[in-house]
Structure 1
């Protein structure tokens, strides 16, 4: 099965992300430490996203995420970054205010299209 692309844009207001850098560290007795990147993909990102829209837009996002069941990776392009693989294991059920719906989702970067992180 081909990897799908998540195309909906999140609300920019409140968009937040975290990059985690995995390093190996050797601590020496004189207070000196030495660090090196751990692995080829030592930088992993996670984004907390908010989506706001009408029923059709939010329903389409829910259907996309549900179809992947938290286990299948998809492509998404974060702000100021290149397209990467992500999974979504957590999202909120939508809330409604008039005709506008809001939901949040957490996208975690992965490097393997066949499994979760």
Structure 2
């Protein structure tokens, strides 16, 4: 019975050792994953800081007055584009009318020249 108890104790000790090894391995894996996560978080925070700095730098270049001036110029340019587009349309219509008149005048001149020529005998 004593041997059986010793054997049973030995088996329990081995099982405990195996369980402890499994938990130890899991704990080490968890520590490695935690270190990797902390490193990634630090990298991301650094990148976010850099990007926020770039945004601040870009915003600093544009004063409120400069933004207002550019907005006003942009509006004026858009109005100028609309005006030029309308003028272009008007000139295109005038060009078509002038070509039509020229064609009519060419036909009229040809008719008058035909009337001036003496009839062939």
Structure with the higher helix share, 1 or 2: 2
TM-score by length of 1: 0.16
Tell me which structure has the larger Cα radius of gyration. 2
Which structure has the higher relative contact order (CA within 8 Å, separation 6+)?
Answer: 1
TM-score by length of 2: 0.16
